[in-house]
Amino acid sequence: MVSMSVELRNMGGTQAAMGWAGGHTIIVDRPEGKAGGMGLGFNGGQLLALAIGGCFCNDLRYVAEEIGITLNKIAVTVTLNLEGKPLLATSSTMTVSCTTLDGSDPAEIITRAAAISTSATPCARACR
């Protein structure tokens, strides 16, 4: 089993939080005027969508490297759907486009990445 931990602490003078993992930091907040938010950083839904899409971008690179193909461009759009009160993530959709450096069809890479994705696969199962 692999475990990862992140830390979050409130930021003095705001109601936002700063999160970090290793040497990387991010600010988490709500939109300005919403529950004390000042719009200083990403909200939780945006972070979840970024995690899904970011992991998928990485998974595309892992699969491409495994089969010896270099990816040229990657474009991923994640739409997270929230419903209810409180709002809960109920589903997400992802649109993926990529090209290879040698011009070959990237369909196999996308299919294999979807099958092994660290975040997208479990989130898709949980949101069904």
The pair of three-digit structure tokens given for residue 52, joined into one six-digit string: 């899904």
pTM of the model: 0.86
> Quick one: pLDDT at residue 2?
87
pLDDT string in tens for the chain (128-residue length): 889 999 999 999 999 999 999 999 999 999 999 999 999 999 999 999 999 999 999 999 999 999 999 999 999 999 999 999 988 999 899 999 999 999 999 999 999 999 988 776 555 554 44
CA-to-CA separations, 77 to 34, 51, 112, 115, in angstroms, rounded: 25, 12, 18, 18
> Quick one: pLDDT at residue 24?
96
> Quick one: pLDDT at residue 120?
65
